[in-house]
Chains A and B, each alone.
Chain A
Amino acid sequence: MLERVGNRITSAVERILALGLILAILLDFTNVVGRYTGGFSVLGIDEVEIYILICIAFIGSAAVTWRRQHLRMDVFIEACPVRVRRFVKFFEMAVMLAITAFVGAQSYAYVSKIFALGSVSDIAGVPMWIPHSAVCLGFFGMALIVLVRAAQRFWAPERAEGEAGEPVKGEVRS
């Protein structure tokens, strides 16, 4: 049940980010076409594109965490006995929860400050708390996912072992 809900939310987030990516590409393309055909370029498009990229990076990372596709060097740990791997996995989850929650909290403090200041981007006038929130959302999202995974392991360890027990090899494409 939890797995299905998580998958649905992740797919929805990925789809929204994918549409954002397509929008960014179309904005860039419009600027190129405008420059060579109409002699115009829309100011501030670059900024908007970069903010979409930042959302893809941080919010997308939470989706990658759910799908267990983060890049890692797991050749040595994969060669270890199951008991060692299980212990390392718990250790990794504890570290990930602590670090992502800490970074999320730091980001939240920063976002609150610039929200209060009301700062906007130089050209497009985008309120800066919006792109900065992506960092905060991404890290809190990752922390939440680690908690959910931990709960899965606690309530249904056999199932979690199969689904989330060992690190799934990252989708390394270079």
Chain B
Amino acid sequence: MSIALGVLPIALLFLGFPIFLVLLTAVTVALVFLMHLPLAALHQNLFGSINAYALLAIPYFIYAGELMGRGSVAKRLVDFVQAGVGSVRGSLGVTTVGTATIFGAISGVSAAAVATIGKVMYPSMVRAGYPTSFSAGLITAIGAIDIIIPPSIPMIVYGAAAQESVPRLYAAGIVPGLLLALVIGGYVIVRAWWGGFGKGEPFDGARFATATLRGLWALGAPAIILGGIYGGVFSPTEAAAVACVYAALVTRFVFRELTLDEIVEAAVATVRFTAQILIIVSCAGVFAWILTVNQVPATLVAWIQHLEVSPWQFLLVVNILLLLTGCFLDPLSSILLLTPLLIPIARSLGIDTVHFGIVFMVNLAIGLFHPPFGINIFVAQSVLGIDLKQIYKGIVPFVILYLLVLVAITYVPQISLIGVRLFMG
């Protein structure tokens, strides 16, 4: 059994097989050759794994982000944040951080944030005398914040895999997300002051008012999503559906940017991305079921208890494991492969699964822009059109900052849990 559920999937994964096929092959081999269960269980579990209302939020949030990202939303948000930042040193860099944070509250798709914000901010930063590698590094790294700030697609997948409440996870992501934004924003100011670049324009009340008016419709999306969920008006899935309708109406009738055909095209892109994710969710559901039936998580828990591992040691090992995994695998696949194994151990050690989820997200966020294979690096390279070496060089300080925040979030659970107490009572 250990060959079917351990060696085989790892071998196929390294051979570059599609992740759903890796899981499905392991499951099929285990079911057909090693277990004496009716094969109808295969279909039942494939179907049952995505027969869940909460998972509807995945395509809905992706679609809302697709619609909002196709028009001038990013530019409006940039103008709004920039007008508010005023004469702060490194104002364009701080604007990039602020815009990515707000964009994260609309989209939840990290690569989209890098592409959308990078296109607007990178040329302005370089023109204003910001070092090329610093600008590229900032844009590549800050996009990763989107999977920590709600609404985050990986959080929905984690919620499904760990059977944890998505609103609680979303509430827990707010403070760590803002903490990361503050730390990176602070670093940008210090770096700009130290390097003598990025002098901002003085704050202008009239300009700020105009930018706020122009950005109001774009700012409405996060207000609807977060206000709706924590005001008790909608469930996360309903909030996502309302955000889609809002995004379609605003981009079609207010901004007059998208045609009906483009709205359908955005839905087609959403269908492709959703299918890519959900086929893995479905197969991972069967894989997790097979693991449970064979008592693999229970055996792991007993082994960890036997080793008398303390929670901090476990979290340290998890951080290293997730950082390594994040370098090679996309966040959603990492979540689906590792959550069924790690959650029972975390529970047995008394670690809050919401806090654990946020640790998961920050690790995977780092993996998104960690050299050599972080996907955001390649998105930035393609969108910004610069050399990979420049991006690698620019990323280093941001990797260090993210790691520092990760240590704080890992060992101070209150950073994650304060949001749950504030928003969920």
Residues in B whose Cβ lies below 8 Å from that of A167? 16
Indicate which residue in A25, A78, A91 contacts B244 across the interface (CB closer than 8 Å). Answer: A25
Instruction: Tell me whether A71 and B276 are in contact in the complex, defined as CB-CB below 8 angstroms, given that A14-B268, A21-B270 are known contacts.
Output: yes
A51 CB to closest chain B CB, in angstroms?
A: 9
A26 touches B264 (CB 8 A): no
A75 CA / B109 CA spacing, docked (Å): 22
A167 CB to closest chain B CB, in angstroms?
A: 6
A73 touches B329 (CB 8 A): yes
The interface size bin for chain A is 35 or more
Q: Can you name the residue of chain A whose Cβ is closest to the Cβ of B14?
A: A76
B48 CB to closest chain A CB, in angstroms?
A: 10
A78 touches B44 (CB 8 A): no
Indicate which residue in B42, B270, B373 contacts A106 across the interface (CB closer than 8 Å). Answer: B42
Instruction: Tell me whether A56 and B330 are in contact in the complex, defined as CB-CB below 8 angstroms, given that A99-B28, A174-B368 are known contacts.
Output: no
A75 CA / B264 CA spacing, docked (Å): 33
Q: Taking the complex as formed, is B192 at the interface, i.e. its CB lies under 8 A from any CB of chain A?
A: no
B25 touches A95 (CB 8 A): yes
A17 touches B154 (CB 8 A): no
Q: Taking the complex as formed, is B15 at the interface, i.e. its CB lies under 8 A from any CB of chain A?
A: yes
Q: Can you name the residue of chain B whose Cβ is closest to the Cβ of A67?
A: B272
B83 CB to closest chain A CB, in angstroms?
A: 30
Q: Is the interface of A mostly helix, strand, loop or mixed?
A: helix
Instruction: Tell me whether A29 and B241 are in contact in the complex, defined as CB-CB below 8 angstroms, given that A56-B278, A96-B21 are known contacts.
Output: yes
Q: Can you name the residue of chain B whose Cβ is closest to the Cβ of A18?
A: B267
Instruction: Tell me whether A19 and B267 are in contact in the complex, defined as CB-CB below 8 angstroms, given that A71-B276, A132-B47 are known contacts.
Output: yes
Indicate which residue in B13, B25, B52, B267 contacts A22 across the interface (CB closer than 8 Å). Answer: B267
A25 touches B16 (CB 8 A): no
B156 CB to closest chain A CB, in angstroms?
A: 12
Residues in A whose Cβ lies below 8 Å from that of B395? none
Q: Taking the complex as formed, is B63 at the interface, i.e. its CB lies under 8 A from any CB of chain A?
A: yes
A64 CB to closest chain B CB, in angstroms?
A: 5
> Which residues from chain B sit less than 8 Å from chain A, CB to CB?
12-21, 24-25, 28, 32, 39-40, 42-44, 46-47, 50-53, 55-56, 59-60, 63, 109-112, 147, 153-154, 233-234, 237-238, 241-242, 244-245, 263-264, 267-268, 270-282, 328-333, 364, 368, 373, 375
The 5 A-B pairs with the shortest beta carbon distances in the complex, nearest first, are A60-B275, A77-B16, A70-B18, A57-B278, A18-B267
